[in-house]
Structure 1
């Protein structure tokens, strides 16, 4: 199955549909945050997640609550830029099938971050689909921009590495 996922033409077609769904989900979430009536502010979300880290039966693991308190909330201005732009760019990458593996990895990182912060929503489903995209590697972008971008990047990296060895 792994070989089929990474090399099969029909797998690439199925992965294209998965890629478009996950990409659209992230693109639309990022667009809502960037074009909403109010500027995106993660402060309330972070404070709510930090509260879920306390009490008798915490929903958020203590170490993640500490990260949210000491890193994310302390640098909320940075996260207010990273979250919407990260969602938007990862969504575009998946929809176009360009740098698909990296885009899928970024989507997984964001989904796990939301999940660890106590938000369920679509995150488990998107994580599962993201793992398929990640496991498929370049085949997930076979019917997208990766068809041209990845060979070009390989050629450029060989040229650069070849010059360094001289």
Structure 2
């Protein structure tokens, strides 16, 4: 922000800076990410041996059919937004559940594994939150609101959420689009991008 020609920097409270940016809080994010990752991984593993998910897509078709159904008033439909219902209906009409079901299974397995291993935690948490958002938009609550909220926290803590995991080495090695790591800059600091000291 600028005021009278001077740049005014608005900063986060010190506690928030430490919570989301200091490796000393990495133990908390380890607990959160392993819980979220384990939930995704077990969900994916439960589907991988089910032909209704990995072959025909019938399980997803049934879920979508229930989601787009519009009951008689005063009952309310599972999907609150017409545009999202139209989107799911288009996927149903096109028979896209056959490949989309496989995509969901793969997504759950990959997100779960990445979070447990602490690899690209911010990216994995984003895709996990995106899946939770879609499930909630389709009218399924279950534990999706909890997982969505925890994933948002993991995204905010992306610099240190994987400190006790592979990101401790991946982030300094690869860097970010705005700050290349050792692989792309020919050497330099071994500190994860943006990470402070414990």
C-alpha distance in 1, partners of 2:27/2:182?
26
- Extract structure 1 runs of 4+ deviating beyond 4 A: none
1:110 to 115, 131, 136: 131
Assess if the C-alpha contact under 8 Å between 2:120 and 2:167 holds in 1.
yes
| Equivalence for 2:87 | 67
C-alpha distance in 2, partners of 1:31/1:51?
29
TM-score w.r.t. length of structure 1: 0.87
Structure with bigger helix share is 1
Query: 1:38-75: per-residue Cα shift (whole Å, max 9, x none)?
Result: 341211001111115x6543331211111111136521
**1:43 aligned onto 2:61:** yes
Assess if the C-alpha contact under 8 Å between 1:90 and 1:107 holds in 2.
yes
Q: Provide the alpha-carbon RMSD of the alignment.
A: 1.7
TM-score w.r.t. length of structure 2: 0.74
Say how many residue pairs are matched.
157
C-alpha distance in 2, partners of 1:134/1:69?
31
Cα drift, residue 78 of structure 1: 2.0
Unaligned regions of 5+ residues in structure 2, if any? 1-14, 175-180, 187-198
| Equivalence for 2:26 | 12
Higher relative contact order (CA 8 A, sep 6+): 1
CA gap of 1:106–1:48, structure 2 versus 1, over 3 A, is: same
Structure with bigger strand share is 2
Unaligned regions of 5+ residues in structure 1, if any? 160-166
Secondary structure of the structure 2 residue equivalent to 1:142: coil
Cα drift, residue 149 of structure 1: 1.1
Larger-gyration structure (1/2): 2
Cα drift, residue 9 of structure 1: 3.0
